[in-house]
Amino acid sequence: MGIHSLTAIFFRPIFGRLVDVKGRKNISLFGIAFLILILPFFHLIKDAGTLPIILRALTGIGWGISMTATLTMCSDLAPVERLARSMGIIGVAGLISVALGPMVAEEVINRFGYSALFNTSLGFLFASFLCVLLTREVPRPDNSQPFLKSKPFLNISITTILLISILTIAQGATRGAVVYFIALFGKSISFDRVWPFFLCFSGAAILTRLGIGGLSDKYGRKQVIFPAVCIISLNFLLLSQVKSIWMFIIAGVIGGFGQGLIFPALTTYIIDILGRENKGLAISLYLAFFDIGMGSGSIFFGWISDLYGYRKMYLVAGVVFFLANLMFAWKAPSPDLKRQD
């Protein structure tokens, strides 16, 4: 797990709570400003020594803070009864940036070098700062006592917290099995290019979030989470049996469809459980657990692939996620709808 992810994981819950206490906009601007101050120091990097590690750690802090606060701020702008739909739409921005970011970065580096990449990133950060600055922040109820007395974990059992963490970590771990190993898997079965998989995966996830990302607003969070995980598990089963490029692409579509469903449903489930007055903390916990899964999953599934190969690795990934899903469906409580008001 990289130092960037470790610092983000550590600081997210801390600032997630501050987001609820001090306000979304101020914390978001602070996080972006922190990144703006750190980024110019990347020009000083001459070798793979201590400086890059320190800068990566600091950018992890800024990223963790700004991401948590900005997501929370955006979700506040949506009607209460359409929270999952709003989270799905917000998530589309992340999917697009993840898809386009590496392509833009590679083009800038090839044409102009790394200094130009750092300057381009700085330009995007300034644009983000301006967008947040110009965005209206929704007033919080009872501003005289801004949630200081709220105790989000007081009425929640340890079992519930464990189930949420297990499912979210499993989601991150299995997502990491796709992100980190799908290219290697493709090469191992003589597929020269794996971009069709990622294109179909991202396209299906985007269309799902835009089209039916709000299903859990209507039918309930757990009623959407369970089939979403089953769909993703099916995706891993198909990957373990891939024989042709078309089967590879179909697996990408199915995986993207499942991921498009689970993100808005699971994030809003955690928000409902902790209470909307603790939305920043809820989002920060989801992101922290997901990052833990991505990091630990790359290690665990890398070990599985070394021992048994990529096909068995994806089969294990599907089984792990499905078992976590069964535990969650069996024991996790349905959100108290009264807490959403």
The answer, yes or no, to whether residue 340 has pLDDT greater than 50, is no
Fold for domain 3-134?
Answer: Growth Hormone; Chain: A; (1.20.1250)
Domain boundary assignment for the chain: 3-134, 158-332
Residue type, 219: Y
Rounded to an integer, the average pLDDT of 107-135 is: 93
Q: What's the mean pLDDT in 244-269?
A: 94
| Residue 313 tokens, joined | 């690795």
Q: What's the average model confidence in pLDDT over 175-179? A: 89
- Residues 6 or more apart whose Cβ sits within 8 Å of residue 49: none
- Report the Cα 13 to chain-centroid distance in Å: 14
Q: Which residue did the predictor score with more confidence, 84 or 137? A: 84
DSSP state of 138: P
Residue 90 has pLDDT above 90, yes or no: no
**3-134 and 158-332 share one fold:** yes
- What amino acid occupies position 148? L
310, 186 contact by CB (below 8 A): no
Q: Which of the four CATH numbers 1.10.760.10, 3.50.50.60, 3.20.20.30, 1.20.1250.20 does domain 158-332 have? A: 1.20.1250.20
47-51, 158-162, 313-317: the lowest-pLDDT one? 47-51
Percent pLDDT > 90 in the chain is 60
Give the count of alpha carbons within 13 A of 28, CB side only: 25
Q: Is the confidence at residue 149, as pLDDT, over 60?
A: no
Determine the Cα–Cα distance for residues 212 and 227; give it in Å rounded to an integer: 14
264 or 275: which leads in pLDDT:
264
Could you count the other beta carbons within 10 Å of the beta carbon of residue 203? 16
Q: Using H for helix, E for strand and C for coil, what is the string for 294-314?
A: HHHHHHHHHHHHHHHCHHHHH
153 versus 275: the higher-pLDDT residue is 275
Higher pLDDT, 338 or 300: 300
Distance CA 287, CA 64 (A): 9
Helices (H) and strands (E) in the chain, counts: 12, 0
Angle at which helices 50-76 and 83-112 cross, to 10°: 150
pLDDT digits over 272-329, tens only? 998 888 899 999 999 999 999 988 888 899 999 999 999 999 999 999 999 999 999 9
Given this model, what pLDDT does residue 147 score? 47
- In angstroms and rounded to an integer, the radius of gyration of the C-alpha atoms of the chain is 20
